[in-house]
């Protein structure tokens, strides 16, 4: 997987918010990849229509996507290599088609619909605006909920979230399979916590804007955030109470910590990993080493409410706990060709061979969380406790465009060491343990040990 391991960046469908200390970024080597957008304004109706459509096509100049192509030896927190995100550069290039069967009919239909809309829609749009709408529409029709378009503002919002510092309310939100925007974690000592926002609350509107009109979580986040000291009014539906509530929350600067940890008793330690964002692996390694110095022989790793993040951070975290092994097989497409590669840990484990692990999951655990837990169960004899996980077994890449907008594209599916895919299925725990409704609405850090039955089960499994 020498080429592709470095290229793939598994960014979860939803906005993530994690802080982290500074780290040397892996150097990104570049290799060309062409991106073809099958939007061609065809000459098939009349000479005048041909002229108009061909002129409009001249605005569609798409170039080569410059992406990372090789692994960076010696990068990461433990000297391991990792997949990273691609850079994208555009230069002018006209569109080409390779298909023949049915192409003429499809282009004729397209040109007819284009002109019908341009001439009869009750609002007037010029060719540039029409082409922009077609671009977004094409992306939306690809069939994957993880493939979507981000405006420059929303793209910036996502980037800020993954850095972990922003002005907002301190709630982490995911979009579920029904399209609802659900609170899946709350940052400690945040405005969201002070206002009484619950895990599981579903957004209805933000400052009067119905969330049904938002394209994705990034757009929702952009509306929730704002200048420090200003207020945002949220209408949420609270399932546990079966009613809507209105909350007015004052925004302030948020710094989220991706790794929180503590000793549970003399030999058992607890690590709560909130996301796989920038520097998550570095912080995880620091936590593991510190806990072992405090006497930890076994670990509880809490990935509940963790919606995922970067694949390379996940692989680097596994490198802390596992010897050199293949932790996932990746199958996808690159430059129009199918490929299959492997993600591997590269260095010796930093923990003793007899260390035992229990991993906590719930329905909000997704993507990189499922990869981490599944690989640890297959290779590290870890035990999973909790609930069936979300089921995101595909990875995405973010491509920044010339105007600083971006396209997130579902590019590959990953398979766990024993060949399992979690896409649309999730991971089934070894021990299914639920929480009471009153406890489930709290973030993991808000629960006491007495009420957290899942953590209690983990402790019981690790005690002599």
Based on the fold, state whether residues 231 and 272 are members of the same structural domain: no
Q: Is 140 helix (H, G, I), strand (E, B) or coil?
A: helix
Based on the fold, state whether residues 331 and 235 are members of the same structural domain: no
Based on the fold, state whether residues 229 and 285 are members of the same structural domain: no
Query: Is residue 446 included in any domain, yes or no?
Result: yes
| Beta-ladder partners of 356 | 298
Query: Is residue 153 included in any domain, yes or no?
Result: no
Query: Is residue 154 included in any domain, yes or no?
Result: no
Based on the fold, state whether residues 250 and 264 are members of the same structural domain: no
pLDDT, residue 93, reads: 56
Query: Is residue 235 included in any domain, yes or no?
Result: yes
> Which of the listed residues 231, 255, 279 is the one where a domain comes to its end?
255
Based on the fold, state whether residues 423 and 409 are members of the same structural domain: yes
pLDDT, residue 113, reads: 93
Q: Which two tokens stand for residue 213?
A: 């009109």
Based on the fold, state whether residues 204 and 182 are members of the same structural domain: yes
120's CB contacts (< 8 A; 6+ apart) are: none
CA proximity to 364, closest of 188, 182, 144: 182
pLDDT, residue 157, reads: 72
> Which of the listed residues 146, 176, 206 is the one where a domain comes to its end?
146
> Which of the listed residues 146, 175, 192 is the one where a domain comes to its end?
146
CATH of the domain at 447: 3.90.226.10
CA proximity to 395, closest of 1, 6, 13: 13
Domain that holds residue 227: 165-255
- Look up residue 211 and give its DSSP letter: G
Given a contact cutoff of 8 angstroms between Cβ atoms, the answer to whether 234 and 228 are in contact is no
Query: Is residue 156 included in any domain, yes or no?
Result: no
Query: Is residue 26 included in any domain, yes or no?
Result: no
Q: How many domains does the chain have?
A: 3
Based on the fold, state whether residues 231 and 310 are members of the same structural domain: no
pLDDT, residue 222, reads: 84
Based on the fold, state whether residues 131 and 206 are members of the same structural domain: no
First to last CA, the chain: 40
Based on the fold, state whether residues 367 and 408 are members of the same structural domain: yes
Query: Is residue 22 included in any domain, yes or no?
Result: no
Q: What is the DSSP string of 277-292?
A: -TTHHHHHHHHHHHHH
Q: What is the largest CA-CA distance in the chain?
A: 83
Cα angle for residues 143, 123, 55 (degrees, 5° grid): 70
CATH of the domain at 194: 2.30.42.10
pLDDT, residue 156, reads: 79
Q: Give me the tens of pLDDT residue by residue for the chain, a chain 464 residues long.
A: 333 333 333 333 333 322 222 233 333 323 333 333 333 333 333 333 333 333 333 333 333 332 332 323 333 333 333 343 333 343 445 677 777 788 989 999 999 999 999 999 999 999 999 998 998 899 889 988 888 888 887 787 777 766 667 889 999 888 887 889 999 889 888 999 999 999 999 999 999 999 998 877 878 888 999 999 999 999 999 999 999 999 999 999 987 778 999 999 999 999 999 989 888 999 999 999 999 999 999 999 999 999 998 999 999 999 999 999 999 999 999 888 999 999 999 999 999 999 999 999 999 999 999 999 999 999 988 999 999 999 999 998 889 999 988 998 999 999 999 999 999 999 999 999 999 999 999 888 889 999 999 999 999 999 98
Q: What is the model's pTM?
A: 0.72
Based on the fold, state whether residues 69 and 210 are members of the same structural domain: no
Based on the fold, state whether residues 313 and 443 are members of the same structural domain: yes
Query: Is residue 394 included in any domain, yes or no?
Result: yes
pLDDT, residue 164, reads: 65
pLDDT, residue 1, reads: 38
pLDDT, residue 161, reads: 67
Alpha helical stretches, state H, 82-151: 103-120, 127-140
Q: Is 246 helix (H, G, I), strand (E, B) or coil?
A: strand
Based on the fold, state whether residues 211 and 136 are members of the same structural domain: no
């Amino acid at each position: 997987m020498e080429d592709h391991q470095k290229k793939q960046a598994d960014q979860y469908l939803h906005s993530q918010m994690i802080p982290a200390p500074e780290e040397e970024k892996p150097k990104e080597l570049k290799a060309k990849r062409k991106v073809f957008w099958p939007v061609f304004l065809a000459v098939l109706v009349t000479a005048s229509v041909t002229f108009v459509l061909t002129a409009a096509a001249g605005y569609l100049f798409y170039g080569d996507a410059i992406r990372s192509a090789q692994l960076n030896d010696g990068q990461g927190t433990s000297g391991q290599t990792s997949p990273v995100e691609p850079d994208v550069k555009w230069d002018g290039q006209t569109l080409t088609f390779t298909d023949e069967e049915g192409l003429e009919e499809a282009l004729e239909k397209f040109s007819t619909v284009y002109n019908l809309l341009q001439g009869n829609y009750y609002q007037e749009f010029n060719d540039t605006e029409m082409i922009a709408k077609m671009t977004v529409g094409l992306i939306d029709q690809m069939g994957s909920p993880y493939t979507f378009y981000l405006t420059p503002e929303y793209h910036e919002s996502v980037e800020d979230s993954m850095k972990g510092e922003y002005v907002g309310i301190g709630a982490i939100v995911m979009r579920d399979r029904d399209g609802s925007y659900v609170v899946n974690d709350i940052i400690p000592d945040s405005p969201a916590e002070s206002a009484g926002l619950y895990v599981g609350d579903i957004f209805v509107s933000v400052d009067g804007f119905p969330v049904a009109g938002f394209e994705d979580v990034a757009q929702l986040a952009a509306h929730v955030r704002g200048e420090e000291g200003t207020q945002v009014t949220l209408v949420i539906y609270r399932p546990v109470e079966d009613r809507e509530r209105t909350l007015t929350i004052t925004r302030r600067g948020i710094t989220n910590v991706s790794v929180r940890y503590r000793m549970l008793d003399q030999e058992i330690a607890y690590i709560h990993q909130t996301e796989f964002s920038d520097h998550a692996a570095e912080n995880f390694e620091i936590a593991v080493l510190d806990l072992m110095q405090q006497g930890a022989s076994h670990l509880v790793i809490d990935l509940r409410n963790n919606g995922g993040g970067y694949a390379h951070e996940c692989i680097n975290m596994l490198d802390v706990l596992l010897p050199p092994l293949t932790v996932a097989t990746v199958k996808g497409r690159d430059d129009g060709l199918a490929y299959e590669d492997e993600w591997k840990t590269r260095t010796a484990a930093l923990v003793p061979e007899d260390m035992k692990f229990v991993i906590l999951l719930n329905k909000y655990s997704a993507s990189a969380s499922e990869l981490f837990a599944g690989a640890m169960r297959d290779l590290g004899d870890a035990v999973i406790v909790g609930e069936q996980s979300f089921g995101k077994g595909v990875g995405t890449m973010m491509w920044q465009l010339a105007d600083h907008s971006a396209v997130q594209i579902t590019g590959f599916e990953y398979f766990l060491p024993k060949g399992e895919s979690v896409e649309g299925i999730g991971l089934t725990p070894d021990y299914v343990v639920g929480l009471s409704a009153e406890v489930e609405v709290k973030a993991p850090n808000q629960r006491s040990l007495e009420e957290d039955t899942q953590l209690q089960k983990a402790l019981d499994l690790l005690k002599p």
